[in-house]
Amino acid sequence: MFVPLIVRATEDAPEANDVVAGWTGFAVFVGLILAVVVIAFFLVRSLRKADKAEDEGLYDHKPTRGATATGTGGSTSSTGSTVEPTEKSD
């Protein structure tokens, strides 16, 4: 039942040399590369702006629970928030 359909589909297949990506595939590939470069450029630019604003003191950093003025209440994570020390339970 399905065998004639499969045989007919394999007979109508194009030759290996006829199937190529061509200039359209190349253009899509270059377009994707350019999109990644543009996104990365604007990401770096906005991160630099945020770092500069933080250095200028534009962000209001309020101490969180357990933090003191000297910063000995807990360790600071990479996001700038205070991480409370955990107590070991026996």
At 62 the pLDDT is 62
> Over its length of 90 residues, how does the chain's per-residue pLDDT go in tens digits?
677 777 776 777 778 888 888 999 999 999 999 999 999 999 999 999 999 988 888 877 665 666 555 555 555 555 555 656 566 665
Q: Which residues contact 83 (CB under 8 A, 6 or more apart)?
A: 74, 75, 76, 77
- The DSSP secondary structure of 30-65, one letter per residue, reads HHHHHHHHHHHHHHHHHHHHHHHHHHTT-S-----T
| In the chain, where the domains are located | 23-47
pLDDT of residue 75: 53
